[in-house]
Structure 1
Amino acid sequence: MPISRNLAPGIVAALLPLAAAGPCDIYGSNGTPCVAAHSTTRALFFNYNSPLYTVQRVDGTYKDILPVSAGGVADSAAQDEFCIDTGCWISAIYDQSGNGNDLTRAPPGGAAEGPEQDGYDALADATAAKVTLGGSTVYGVYVSPGIGYRNDETTNIPTGNAAQGIYAVLDGSRYNGECCFDYGNAETNDLDNGNGHMQALYFGLGTTGGHGSGDGPWVMADLENGVFAGADPGEVSSNPTANSRFVTGVVKGMPNYWEILVGDATSGDLSTGWAGVRPNGYEPLEQEGAIILGIGGDNSNWAEGTFYEGVITDGFPSDEVDQMVQADIVAAGYSV
């Protein structure tokens, strides 16, 4: 059964959504602040009004894309005007938390180099994941094989076996079974450093450490050398296929305990896919604190998926707080 953990003293009595809040305001007010927050679709703090991401044109010029107003959706009109009649790529995704944990193209790693001449991964096409949010056009980050983002020199990201939460909003119709469409905590040297050196949210059809029920795709955890739907190496019947058009996934852990939560990002609550111990050989974790998007910890860059927004928290959010964040995501209004 899901349980509430790691709430600061007195927080339980104050478990109420703020009158005007984004996901990171909700997490912060309940004792588990965002230490990284990334989105190309909207601000994740109510008062955030700085660049969300940067687009790069074929001619090498750049433009920062901001929210249309503080706390609002991305100014896609500015991107459209800048990118008209030319190719554009997402060259940076900015950390809204204030920790400077921005994501740029991933360097070569132990598993693979990227397709660029310097071995780095490619950048995502800035127009390949067009959707609407609250009725306004926005663009997600479509990752195809060879594309990846990373930051190996982060600030305040949990390390060792420290408690951590992750959520992401993803496209439930774009995925594959290759390694690894991840968002979360990974190695700082771009190598496979062994079991437990990662704790990232994975989405796809991978089965290296087990899988969920049905045909997939599934929200799981990449803990290095395996993606896991729970503690069992086979099917975890409680972890459902997550094929709604927009998927909310949560992976969070603390010593001797972790959870997966899954939901439709356009309606309803999150359900518990797993709540219990970690797989054999993965306790304690040895998280290193790099951040990856669209790749595995050693730059395994053969996956496919689309990312719209996500955060990493310092501490283990309660299920009640994650449900409040899910309600905020639903209210934001993702649509095709």
Structure 2
Amino acid sequence: MGAGPCDIYAAGATPCVAAHSTTRALLQSYSGRLYQVRRSSDNATRDITTRTAGGTADAAAQDSFCSGTTCVVTVVYDQSGHGNDLWYQGSSVVPGSSSSSPARATSESLTVGGSKAYSLYINPGNSYWRDGHLTGVPTGSAPEGMYMVTSGTHVNSGCCFDYGNSETTRKADAAGAMDAINFGTECWFGGCSGTGPWVQADLEWGLYSGGSQSWNSAQRAFTSKFVTATLKNNGTSRFAMKGSNAQSGSLYTVWDGGLPSGYSPMKKQGAIILGSGGDCCKPGGGANLSAGTFYEGAMVAGYPSDATENAVQANIVAAGYR
């Protein structure tokens, strides 16, 4: 297997601080756990690993373990070495969380490079979380970047299908307390053109299509089965969002410019969210109403170059999502 996305980011001096996937290894050398499933028949769990170093998920192990019963995904393991595993909110590993449940493990199968795999198929009520502020996730105004591979065919307008940096408090604390990719059909400030789904930035106290509350005319809907979405933010003056078909083509820039008014400097707290907004899933907190699909994604320290992001997109295309 060749270099993975996190090898490419590292070569660009923006190393991964979190890397998650249910489909494949994101580093050439990675041969560990991708995710864990729990079956309903006896509540037993099994870690699903790669089949080879740098390779795809061992879906056959999941099929065997879950045969004749139902399974859910309890955790998506971090491949970066920082220990930023994403457990479902509502589990004992996420203290104080509630109002969330793990996603069903067998909702969607696919192939990656010709090998069977399963997605993390998130419906309203499913979300995953990690407090990573002490384990490498950028905080405050430190620059960061991220990407995910998602789907344009399983989306809704519920708040909020996010992947990225979120509050450790799980409260809507301040403008700039979040820095996460959002993908869906939610039109936060109104005036949207078309029906999406769009790559937007959840920066807290607002879901931004560009650098202001006005609709960004450069926005584009990404409706393909597999979609690459990227976000990077230098923490003080600039952020950029891109998207593409994850099976072919290059990244399209939907925004590359100034932060919205009131968001400089950023006030990131360093938690990681997947499948909900920042103020989700604790007693008295907001409910998770979003739907979306997660195949893979990573967060990096530093502001990735366009060349690095282009190389990551080429790697995703070469991975062969089908």
User: What TM-score does the superposition give when structure 2 sets the normalisation length?
Assistant: 0.93
The match for 2:232 among 225, 244, 252 is 252
Q: Partner residue of 1:146?
A: 125
1-structure distance, mates of 2:258, 2:293: 29
List per-residue Cα deviations over 1:40-74 (Å, max 9, x = no partner): 00000001001000010111101010111000000
List per-residue Cα deviations over 1:119-140 (Å, max 9, x = no partner): 3510010001211111111111
Matched pairs, number: 310
2-structure distance, mates of 1:205, 1:71: 34
Q: Partner residue of 1:325?
A: 312
Superposition deviation, residue 212 in structure 1: 6.2
2-structure distance, mates of 1:265, 1:210: 28
Out of 134-143 and 206-215, give the one that drifted further: 206-215
Q: Partner residue of 1:71?
A: 54
Q: Partner residue of 1:264?
A: 245
Q: What secondary structure sits across from 1:273 in the alignment?
A: strand
1-structure distance, mates of 2:241, 2:317: 19
2-structure distance, mates of 1:44, 1:20: 10
Distance of aligned partners of 1:210 and 1:270 in 2 relative to their CA distance in 1, 3 Å threshold: farther
Q: Tell me if structure 1 keeps the 8 A contact 2:90–2:101.
A: no
Distance of aligned partners of 1:275 and 1:227 in 2 relative to their CA distance in 1, 3 Å threshold: same
Query: What amino acid is the match of 2:7?
Result: D
Q: Tell me if structure 2 keeps the 8 A contact 1:249–1:260.
A: yes
List per-residue Cα deviations over 1:301-320 (Å, max 9, x = no partner): 10000000000000010011
Q: Tell me if structure 2 keeps the 8 A contact 1:107–1:120.
A: yes
List per-residue Cα deviations over 1:208-240 (Å, max 9, x = no partner): 146764320101000012111101323212121
The alignment yields a C-alpha RMSD, in angstroms, of: 1.7
2-structure distance, mates of 1:195, 1:134: 41
Query: What amino acid is the match of 1:131?
Result: L
Q: What secondary structure sits across from 1:81 in the alignment?
A: helix
Superposition deviation, residue 34 in structure 1: 0.3
Query: What amino acid is the match of 1:294?
Result: G
Q: Tell me if structure 1 keeps the 8 A contact 2:165–2:269.
A: yes
Superposition deviation, residue 80 in structure 1: 0.2
Q: Partner residue of 2:303?
A: 316
Query: What amino acid is the match of 1:317?
Result: P
The match for 1:48 among 11, 30, 44 is 30
2-structure distance, mates of 1:20, 1:287: 33
Q: Which segments of 5 or more consecutive residues in structure 1 lack a partner in the other structure? A: 1-18, 109-117
Superposition deviation, residue 146 in structure 1: 0.7
1-structure distance, mates of 2:132, 2:248: 36
Q: Partner residue of 1:171?
A: 151
Q: Tell me if structure 2 keeps the 8 A contact 1:106–1:151.
A: no
Q: Tell me if structure 1 keeps the 8 A contact 2:171–2:279.
A: yes
- 2:266 counterpart of 1:285: yes
Q: Within 5 Å, give how 1:1-336 maps onto structure 2.
A: 20-58=2-40, 59-107=42-90, 119-154=98-133, 155-209=135-189, 213-254=193-234, 255-299=236-280, 300-335=287-322
Identity of aligned residues (%): 47
Distance of aligned partners of 1:20 and 1:296 in 2 relative to their CA distance in 1, 3 Å threshold: same
Query: What amino acid is the match of 2:59?
Result: S
Distance of aligned partners of 1:160 and 1:210 in 2 relative to their CA distance in 1, 3 Å threshold: farther
1-structure distance, mates of 2:189, 2:108: 30
Q: Tell me if structure 1 keeps the 8 A contact 2:89–2:98.
A: no
Out of 99-108 and 280-289, give the one that drifted further: 99-108
Q: Which segments of 5 or more consecutive residues in structure 2 lack a partner in the other structure? A: 92-96, 281-286
Query: What amino acid is the match of 1:103?
Result: L
Q: Tell me if structure 1 keeps the 8 A contact 2:56–2:115.
A: yes
1-structure distance, mates of 2:101, 2:65: 20
Distance of aligned partners of 1:161 and 1:210 in 2 relative to their CA distance in 1, 3 Å threshold: farther
Q: What secondary structure sits across from 2:219 in the alignment?
A: coil
